[in-house]
């Protein structure tokens, strides 16, 4: 098992923790990571783009001019797609872009993402964030102690104090273990795990 330093919110070493090789020493396959990230981004799409067909436009009931005798091309409605302001033929309609992948693949991708951050030296285990109140300044100070410009912080449960303190701080995000995902791990260059969250991560992924 890999051994990682445990630090306090002042970035000072206070101990060590063993990290399970089944989670943090998995060979990284960029193809799998790419597929899972594409799936996550597709599932986040709102898919609410919409255009109107000729039947959905207002008006257009009267024939613009008689069929014959004017010398102009025949026309039955001003909502014709060939007219300016007419309907759209094959325009977008609200749709669902989401799709799924096997649970084993998604779980494997998470392990790969965690392993990648550890092997890069961009994973930090912190004993406790030490935030006593919802205050952005305090959160930014903690991140400043580590000299992190952007970071994903994983807590045991939904830590309202940390998550609300990070909202107005650009480049940071706080998630509970239940919200841990490949896209966010790869989006932020640094990954910070609160020490008590490691057991929960193992419980979630080692099944």
Residue 180, domain CATH: 3.40.1370.10
- How many domains, in total, are found in the chain? 2
Q: What is the residue range of 69's domain?
A: 47-96
pLDDT at 159: 85
Query: Which of 76, 96, 116 is the endpoint of a domain?
Result: 96
Number of helices and strands in the chain (H, E): 7, 6
Pair (37, 114) in one structural domain: yes
On the question of pLDDT at 152 being above 90, the answer is yes
User: How does residue 157 score in pLDDT terms, banded at 50, 70 and 90?
Assistant: confident
Same domain, 187 and 197: yes
- 79 and 11 share one domain: no
Q: Could you read off the pLDDT of 15-58 as tens digits, one per residue?
A: 999 999 999 999 999 999 999 999 999 999 999 999 999 999 99
Q: How far apart are CA 42 and CA 156, in angstroms?
A: 28
- Do 188 and 125 share a domain, yes or no? yes
Same domain, 149 and 84: no
Per-residue model confidence (pLDDT) at position 8: 93
Q: What share of the chain is helix, strand, coil (3-state, %, to 5)?
A: 35, 15, 50
Map tokens 């609160």 to a residue. 194
Q: Are residues 128 and 89 in the same domain?
A: no
pTM of the model: 0.84
Examine the pLDDT at 119 and tell me if it is beyond 90: yes
Same domain, 70 and 120: no
**Do residues 61 and 91 share a domain?**
yes
For residues 33 and 112, membership in a common domain is answered with yes
Question: pLDDT-based confidence at 99, cuts 50/70/90?
Answer: very high
Alpha helices in the chain (DSSP H): 21-24, 30-44, 103-120, 136-146, 160-166, 182-187, 197-205
Per the CB < 8 A criterion, the answer to whether 42 and 97 are in contact is yes
Q: Indicate whether 58 and 34 sit together in one domain.
A: no
Question: Taking residues 69-87, what's their average pLDDT?
Answer: 96
Both 153 and 105 in one domain: the answer is yes
Same domain, 41 and 78: no
Q: Which of 149, 177, 175, 151 is nearest to 163 (CA)?
A: 175
**Which has the closest alpha carbon to 4: 15, 31, 161?**
15
Is there a contact between 146 and 124 (Cβ–Cβ < 8 Å)?
A: yes
């Amino acid at each position: 098992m890999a051994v990682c330093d445990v630090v306090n919110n002042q970035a000072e070493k206070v101990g060590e923790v063993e990290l399970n090789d089944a989670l943090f020493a998995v060979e990284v396959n960029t193809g799998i990571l790419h597929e899972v990230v594409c799936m996550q981004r597709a599932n986040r799409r709102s898919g609410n783009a919409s255009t109107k067909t000729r039947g959905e436009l207002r008006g257009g009931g009267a024939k613009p001019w008689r069929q014959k005798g004017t010398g102009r091309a025949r026309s039955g409605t001003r909502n014709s797609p060939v007219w300016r302001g007419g309907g759209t033929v094959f325009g977008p309609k609200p749709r669902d872009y989401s799709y799924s992948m096997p649970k084993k693949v998604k779980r494997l991708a998470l392990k790969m993402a965690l392993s990648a951050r550890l092997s890069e030296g961009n994973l930090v285990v912190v004993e406790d964030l030490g935030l006593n109140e919802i205050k952005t300044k305090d959160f930014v100070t903690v991140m400043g102690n580590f000299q992190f410009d952007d970071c994903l912080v994983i807590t045991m449960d939904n830590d309202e104090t940390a998550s609300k303190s990070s909202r107005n701080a650009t480049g940071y995000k706080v998630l509970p273990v239940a919200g841990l995902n490949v896209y966010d791990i790869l989006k932020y260059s640094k990954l910070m795990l609160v020490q008590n969250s490691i057991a929960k991560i193992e419980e979630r992924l080692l099944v």
